[in-house]
Structure formats: C-alpha cells, structure tokens
Amino acid sequence: MKFFVDTADTAEIRDLAETGLLDGVTTNPSLIHKAGRDFLEVVREIAGIVPGPVSAEVVALDHKEMLREAEILRRIADNIAVKVPLTVDGLKTCKALSGEGTMVNVTLCFSANQALLAAKAGATFISPFVGRHDDTGFDGMQIISEIRTIYDNYDFATQILVASVRHPVHVLQSAMIGADVMTAPPAVIRQLFRHPLTDRGIEAFLADWGKTGQSI
C-alpha cells in the first residue's frame, strides 16, 4: 500500500520523505489555508520534494472553470494530480482530463456507487473519506471493502486512496482490505512507528550496553 501524507506543510513533507516511505502528497484548500502561503507556490515546492503524485484541488464548481483551473495546476509539474469533487461537473472534468493523460484524484467520496462512477470516468484515484463517514455513525471502512470488491469485479484501474484517516487502525484496516493508497496527517504516520514494547526494548538494550562500559 502506498503512503501519501495529507498536508501542505513542506517541512513535514521533507522530513517524512527522508524516511524513504513517502509515495505522494495530498492537499486541499483547508490545508493550504492552514499553511498560510500562496497556493501555487506551495504546490510547486511540494512537487519538487516528492517524485510521486501531488494532489492539488480545483475550487471551481462548474466544468468549464474546473478545466481552466486544472490547466494551470497541471502545468506546475508532471507529478500533479488534479483533484476534483465527486459531482456531475467534477466527473465531466475527470473524464476530459484523464482522456488527455492527466492524473485525476476524485475526492469527497462517501459511497461505493460514487466510486463506481469515478472509475467509469477514468479517475486515477478515488478518495473515500472514512473518518468523516465514521463521524456520522457509519462504518467508513465498509465503504472501502465495497469499493475494493466492485473494482476487482470489473478490473478498474482506479486506485482506492483512503482519505480522512484519523488513527493507525484506519491504516491497518485499509491495508488488510487491500486499498491501494492511504493518505494521513503527519501525526498519524508518525504514530505507525511507535509501540511501547519497542520503546521498552530500546531502553533495556541501552541500559545493558551502558553497563558494559564499551563504545562503538
């Protein structure tokens, strides 16, 4: 499963990229606002940090304006994936862009039927929001399982990009279901490295090593 980080904080992206485990980046208008920087400048910098896909979202709601904004975004770098909402106009835009060879990430997916439409529109990625679905009292991971079954049934090439990941269990469940990608905030990715038994083991080894009086 590919690991994308969901942030517009370039310092965090650089640090995680140094692990060699980061495959791409997702951004959205809210994350750009939080970064407090120029949108195009941030996207350009991120695209230069990671070689993998960098999702940059259009903000227009009609097809014509989405295409205009997409043209600006995809000129930034070859690894830009244009992000569009799962609406009729968004899927029209997805169909047009994917037909020209542009990567497209269809976002704000909350049902398997929506994911089916995105795949038929040629989406590179579909982004189901598991955390937000959980917030409404439903099982977000059930949607991931349903999408996996549908995509496998018809051999769709669209990659399932699990979004709105809130904790490590979401990551584990996504991997077990067979999602292609997960995107999570930096803090959640950092949690994956941690386990109390690992910490205790390191402490015990260091304590014993100190007693030897040796150095490497």
Q: Collapsing DSSP states into helix, strand and coil, what is residue 154?
A: helix
Tell me the two tokens of residue 150: 């549908």
Side chain identity, residue 41: E
Active-site residue 83, yes or no? Answer: yes
User: Which is the catalytic residue, given 2, 83, 92, 211?
Assistant: 83
C-alpha distances (whole Å) from 212 to each of 105, 137, 163, 198, 201 are 55, 55, 48, 22, 17
CA-closest candidate to residue 12, choices 201, 194, 211, 184: 184
- Using the structure block, give the residue that is written with the tokens 């038994």: 197
Tell me the two tokens of residue 90: 């968004």
Give how far the C-alpha of residue 53 lies from the chain's centroid of Cα atoms, to the nearest Å: 9
Task: Specify burial of residue 187 (Cβ count, 10 A radius: 0-12, 13-18, 19+).
Answer: exposed
C-alpha distances (whole Å) from 73 to each of 39, 57, 69, 140 are 10, 8, 6, 30
The set of catalytic residues is 83
